[in-house]
Amino acid sequence: MASAAHTFEENLEAATRHLARFAEAPLPHIIGADTPLSSSGETFANASPIDGGHLADVASGNAADIDAAARAAAAAFDAWSATPGTERKQILHRIADVIAERAHQIAVTECVDTGQAIRFMSSAALRGTENFRFFADQAPGAADGLSLPSADHVNYTTRHPIGPVGVITPWNTPFMLSTWKIAPALAAGCTVVHKPAEWSPLTAQLLADAALEAGLPPGVLNVVHGLGETAGKSLTEHPDIKAIAFVGESATGSHIQAQGAPTLKRVHFELGGKNPVIVFDDADLERALDAVIFMIYSLNGERCTSSSRVLIQESIYEQFTSRIADKMAKVPVGHPLDPNSVIGPLIHSRHLDKVCSYADVAAAEGADVIWGHGWSDAPPGGNWMVPMLFTGARSDMRVAREEIFGPVLTAIAFSDEADATKIANDVPYGLAAYLWTSDVGRAHRVANALDAGMIWVNSQNVRHLPTPFGGTKASGIGRDGGDWSFDFYMETKNISIALDTHNIPKLGG
């Protein structure tokens, strides 16, 4: 079951077998109990990042398809929201069971669809099961509230699912991210219309298959494929959809906020980042080095929490950047289904062009461009690139400010604590920050001064599901994880019952 145990050949064979269904017939929507194509008959092509080969034709949803899905979600809402939390818990655990059984199928499909390496995608599928199990266990208590008595009233709060919600996901780790949004929504009692990213639509089908086979009633989870500007936009505008959970670019978040304004959508945004990793000269430099490499060259650097800026104290700058360069040169680029590969092809040729263009930007801005090694056997037609390191960068350069979203690291020198904090905060984003020091007081001081939603001290990004996940500034609105997810997917109601002791003003005699 665990993909790490499979050889390259076994992964290739499994991918060929599991992807055949997508080549045979267009990938449909899932609306209620039906699997229709788009009402317009339109499809879009999904290409392999590995060699540009055709993976699937995908139904291209429009406003009418979204309307049908939103109606299905609305029709299913009363029964699902009234289903006891203990029963929702059981169903969500069964979904996790089915995902676990299919972890290898999901992992190889995700690798071929996104270009991400199997060594990471194998755990991405299993993280999906963890998300379902975590929120399954919370389902029975999701409606619980607080007791807030006053002198004359008993006050208590309860929580109620907000209604049908829209979930819009990006292409970078689509399966895991979808479960991260959909599991708490279902646990809360909401019904869902999911609009997966058009560049990596395949595993959304596998998630919906697992959910339906596990006994999730039809209409509780609906999937409409399509482009952001059509299907995505219609979902954010639909009056039956009460909230939008969105993961993607900051600029898209702005569009969604505007599109949802007429229907007063509640929004939750997990957006872009330009996350710093600050390395002080008193840090455990071996561990820091491994974490720096891992957090930018894993997952193709296509990761919202990647540490794409490394801020290094001047006293160790030369030594530390040269060690990064040495390690980067040994990071293997290769076929995503090969267990030895770390970096695979990027998701799309347009994204590849964008990421690679930063080499020229860096050189024009005066930074030094250091190249790693590519894959000499890379198939033609794929979106292959060579990892990069930009040294000698300054905080005002584009390569230090813009989200590149590839295996590209920008190294900046700093003098002291105040300088490090200033540079770290000097970007429009505030998702995550990483800090390496052996000075406990400094760790607290800098962590408090950093303007980001999540700070890791002497660590890479290690998720703990009860903790809040989300960003400040252009990196997002709201938090996920633990009870924070339920605050988003549920309405809090206060019930105030008089003890019949308080004064009621008598007006009119």
Q: Annotated catalytic sites, by residue?
A: 270, 304
Asked if 137 interacts with ligand NAD (CB under 6 A), we say: no
Which CB atom, from 189 or from 232, has the smaller least distance to ligand NAD? Answer: 232
Task: In whole angstroms, give the CA distance from residue 357 to residue 350.
Answer: 11
Which CB atom, from 94 or from 233, has the smaller least distance to ligand NAD? Answer: 233
> b/e for 274-307, b at 16 or more Cβ within 10 A?
bbbbbbbbebebeebbebbbbbbbbbbbbbbbbb
Asked if 271 interacts with ligand NAD (CB under 6 A), we say: yes
* Residues with Cβ within 8 Å of residue 178, at least 6 apart in sequence: 128, 167, 169, 194, 196, 203, 204, 207
Q: Can you tell me which of 384, 390, 405, 436 binds ligand NAD, judged by CB under 6 A?
A: 405
Asked if 195 interacts with ligand NAD (CB under 6 A), we say: yes
Tell me the C-alpha to C-alpha distance, in Å, between residue 501 and each of 121, 149, 447, 498.
Answer: 62, 14, 49, 7
Backbone angles phi, psi at 475, to 5 degrees: -95, -5
User: Facing residues of 46 across strands?
Assistant: 56
At 251, list the tokens. Answer: 């600029």
Q: How far is the CB of 451 from ligand NAD (least distance, A)?
A: 15
Q: How far is the CB of 298 from ligand NAD (least distance, A)?
A: 14
Residues between 245 and 264 that touch ligand NAD (CB under 6 A): 247-249, 252, 255-256, 259
Q: Which of 151, 149, 148, 147 lies closest to 503, judged by CA?
A: 151
Residues between 210 and 229 that touch ligand NAD (CB under 6 A): 227-229
Asked if 279 interacts with ligand NAD (CB under 6 A), we say: no
Asked if 401 interacts with ligand NAD (CB under 6 A), we say: no
Q: Can you tell me which of 129, 222, 236, 485 binds ligand NAD, judged by CB under 6 A?
A: 236
* Residues with Cβ within 8 Å of residue 259, at least 6 apart in sequence: 233, 236, 237
Asked if 367 interacts with ligand NAD (CB under 6 A), we say: no
Which CB atom, from 210 or from 454, has the smaller least distance to ligand NAD? Answer: 454
Contact 232, 260 (CB under 8 A): no
- Name the H helices within 166-249: 174-188, 202-213, 233-237
* Residues with Cβ within 8 Å of residue 63, at least 6 apart in sequence: 230, 234
Radius of gyration of the chain (CA): 24
Task: Provide, for the chain, the percentages of residues in helix, strand and coil under a 3-state DSSP scheme, each rounded to the nearest 5.
Answer: 45, 20, 35
Q: How far is the CB of 23 from ligand NAD (least distance, A)?
A: 22
x/- map, 424-463, ligand NAD, by CB under 6 A: -------x--------------------------------
Q: How far is the CB of 328 from ligand NAD (least distance, A)?
A: 21
Asked if 65 interacts with ligand NAD (CB under 6 A), we say: no
Q: How far is the CB of 9 from ligand NAD (least distance, A)?
A: 31
Q: Can you tell me which of 19, 167, 182, 304 binds ligand NAD, judged by CB under 6 A?
A: 304
Which CB atom, from 166 or from 382, has the smaller least distance to ligand NAD? Answer: 166
Which residue is it, tokens 């997990």?
270
Q: Is the alpha carbon torsion for 118, 119, 124, 125 positive or negative?
A: positive
Q: In degrees to the nearest 10, what's the CA dihedral of 166, 172, 178, 184?
A: -90
Asked if 233 interacts with ligand NAD (CB under 6 A), we say: yes
Asked if 270 interacts with ligand NAD (CB under 6 A), we say: yes
What is the H or E stretch that residue 54 is in?
strand 54-59
Residues between 319 and 338 that touch ligand NAD (CB under 6 A): none
Q: How far is the CB of 205 from ligand NAD (least distance, A)?
A: 15
End-to-end CA distance of the chain: 78
Asked if 171 interacts with ligand NAD (CB under 6 A), we say: yes
Asked if 110 interacts with ligand NAD (CB under 6 A), we say: no
Q: How far is the CB of 201 from ligand NAD (least distance, A)?
A: 9
Residue nearest to ligand NAD (CB): 228
- For ligand NAD, the binding residues (CB under 6 A) are 168-172, 177, 195, 197-198, 227-229, 232-233, 236, 247-249, 252, 255-256, 259, 270-273, 304, 403, 405, 431, 471, 475-476
